[in-house]
């Protein structure tokens, strides 16, 4: 019998696919169940290399669907949840906030309720609900305005961050009200392979390659704190195994970049790797109308995670960003498939009727 039966939600997405692969490979004694609705952001090709691993099962389904969740808990004896499934793109949330409430709020609450229903009878013995959240719930910092920590008040500005903030509150309410063992982490911007190319870094690498415009919002002065996705995953691993129940952990890269500066860095490396003259693609930069409610700066102080759990990121930015750009340039087919929607057929080809 498996040591643990872990339900990872959103495991076909960007961070989720890295997390699923890491857990499947590192913990052969755990059974990993990946529940994903396969929205535009979910792509099973991200997990091709482990899809036949004996400790891995994929289930196509929606976290809002209570019956599917109940069947999963019943059939597989789920004892831990690592919850990543979400609508995640701020710009989409500006256009369609309701979809974000459905998945991020109602979906999270539905999952919490089913976990409670199955776990409460054992007094939550050996159970854990790990909620993966974002630094955006804390709002925005001034350019010289300190750092986000676990003690910051919630002050979300976009429909996306408001929905994630709401989900965090529901998760904590289940700890306070029902004594469900929970843990929450709030992470800064991730970069790396397999990110859907509507987010800044993969979008810009793809556009540079195709000589398309690079739309910089406002003046490009907003600041983000960038972390290589595998370092986020190693933090999740530590928190899952050693985090204190009921606590929040902030995860960040101590790696702040003004958008326009990181964009120039991406242009410089991409041009070099494409064999173009240095700076040839700078001409593609186009300053466009700013994102409404655009948060000025995110920056994380992750001292608690370092001090209490001994976490350290393993990638320098120089190494991480080069590896990331190389991946997108070497995986043009992946980019073409996700931008054309072709990858949607993969589920039908590989899984339907299994
Ligand atoms: P993503 O958009 O790449 O992937 C989301 C995944 O969730 C997709 O596979 C999608 O199919 C799935 N999904 C969406 N709605 C679903 C539903 N109703 N039921 C089941 N599955 C559903 O997202 P990501 O960037 O990998 O982010 C994963 C998590 O990490 C999110 O909760 C996000 O808020 C959080 N986070 C992301 C970042 C970042 O920089 N990307 C930083 C901090 C926290
Ligand atoms: O901080 C964590 C968050 O990081 C996650 O919770 C979100 O899921 C994730 O999408 C990300 O949010 P951002 O809004 O910071 O990421 P995005 O890649 O959309 O944008 C990064 C910055 O670049 C932001 O300041 C907006 C700017 N931008 C983005 C795009 C897509 C542009 O200037 N032009 C663009 O075309």
**Centre of ligand 1 from the C-alpha of residue 168, in Å:** 14
What pLDDT does 106 receive? Answer: 98
154: tokens are 């919630």
Q: Report the C-alpha gap between 291 and 93 in whole angstroms.
A: 11
Q: Please, are residues 130 and 240 in contact by the beta-carbon 8 Å criterion?
A: yes
Q: Please, are residues 250 and 304 in contact by the beta-carbon 8 Å criterion?
A: yes
Q: Let me know the angle formed at the C-alpha of 71 by 68 and 76, rounded to the nearest 5 degrees.
A: 125
**Ligand 1 pocket, CB under 6 A:** 9-10, 12-16, 36-39, 41-42, 62-64, 84-88, 103, 107, 132, 134, 164, 187, 189-190, 196
**Centre of ligand 1 from the C-alpha of residue 351, in Å:** 21
Q: Record the pTM.
A: 0.98
Inter-helix orientation angle 200-209/317-330, to 10° = 50
User: Would you say the CB of residue 297 lies under 6 angstroms from ligand 2?
Assistant: no
What pLDDT does 347 receive? Answer: 73
250-285: burial string, b at 16+ Cβ within 10 Å, e else: bbbbbbbbbbbebbbbbbbbbbebeeeeeebbeebb
Q: Which residues are catalytic?
A: 135-136, 160
Written as tens digits, the pLDDT of the chain (354 aa) is 899 999 999 999 999 999 999 999 999 999 999 999 999 999 999 999 999 999 999 999 999 999 999 999 999 999 999 999 999 999 999 999 999 999 999 999 999 999 999 999 999 999 999 999 999 999 999 999 899 999 999 999 999 999 999 999 999 999 999 999 999 999 999 999 999 999 999 999 999 999 999 999 999 999 999 999 999 999 999 999 999 999 999 999 999 999 999 999 999 999 999 999 999 999 999 999 999 999 999 999 999 999 999 999 999 999 999 999 999 999 999 999 998 877 777 777 777 766
**Centre of ligand 1 from the C-alpha of residue 274, in Å:** 30
What pLDDT does 341 receive? Answer: 76
Paired sense of beta strands 223-228 and 256-258, if any: antiparallel
Atom of ligand 1 nearest to the CA of 189: 40
What pLDDT does 353 receive? Answer: 63
Domains and CATH numbers, the chain: 4-190+228-252+296-314 (3.40.50.720)
């Amino acid at each position: 019998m498996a040591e643990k039966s872990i339900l990872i939600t959103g495991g076909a997405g960007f961070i989720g696919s890295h997390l699923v692969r890491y857990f499947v490979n590192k913990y052969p004694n755990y059974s990993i169940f990946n529940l994903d609705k396969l929205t535009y952001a979910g792509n099973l090709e991200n997990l091709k290399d482990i899809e036949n691993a004996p400790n891995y099962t994929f289930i196509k389904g929606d976290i809002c669907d209570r019956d599917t969740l109940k069947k999963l808990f019943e059939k597989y004896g789920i004892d831990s949840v690592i919850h990543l499934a979400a609508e995640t793109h701020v710009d989409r949330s500006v256009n369609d906030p309701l979809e974000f409430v459905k998945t991020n709020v109602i979906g999270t609450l539905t999952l919490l309720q089913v976990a409670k229903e199955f776990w409460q009878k054992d007094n939550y013995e050996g159970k854990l609900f790990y909620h993966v959240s974002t630094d955006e719930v804390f709002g925005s910092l001034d350019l010289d305005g300190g750092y986000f920590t676990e003690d910051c008040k919630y002050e979300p500005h976009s429909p996306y961050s408001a929905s994630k903030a709401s989900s965090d509150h529901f998760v904590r309410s289940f700890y306070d009200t029902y004594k469900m063992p929970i843990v929450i982490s709030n992470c800064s911007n991730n970069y790396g392979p397999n990110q859907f190319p509507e987010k800044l870094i993969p979008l810009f690498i793809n556009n540079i390659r195709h000589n398309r415009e690079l739309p910089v919002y406002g003046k490009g002065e907003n600041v983000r704190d960038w972390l290589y996705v595998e370092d986020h995953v190693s933090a999740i691993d530590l928190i899952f195994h050693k985090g204190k129940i009921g606590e929040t952990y902030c995860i960040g890269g101590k790696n702040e970049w003004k958008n326009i500066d990181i964009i120039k860095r991406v242009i410089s490396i991409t041009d070099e790797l494409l064999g173009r003259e240095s700076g040839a693609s700078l001409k593609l930069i186009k300053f466009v109308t700013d994102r409404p409610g655009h948060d000025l700066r995110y920056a994380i102080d992750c001292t608690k995670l370092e001090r209490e759990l001994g976490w350290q990121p393993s990638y320098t930015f120089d190494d991480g960003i080069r590896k990331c750009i190389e991946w997108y340039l070497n995986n043009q087919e992946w980019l073409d498939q996700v931008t054309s929607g072709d990858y949607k057929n993969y589920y039908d080809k590989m899984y339907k009727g299994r």
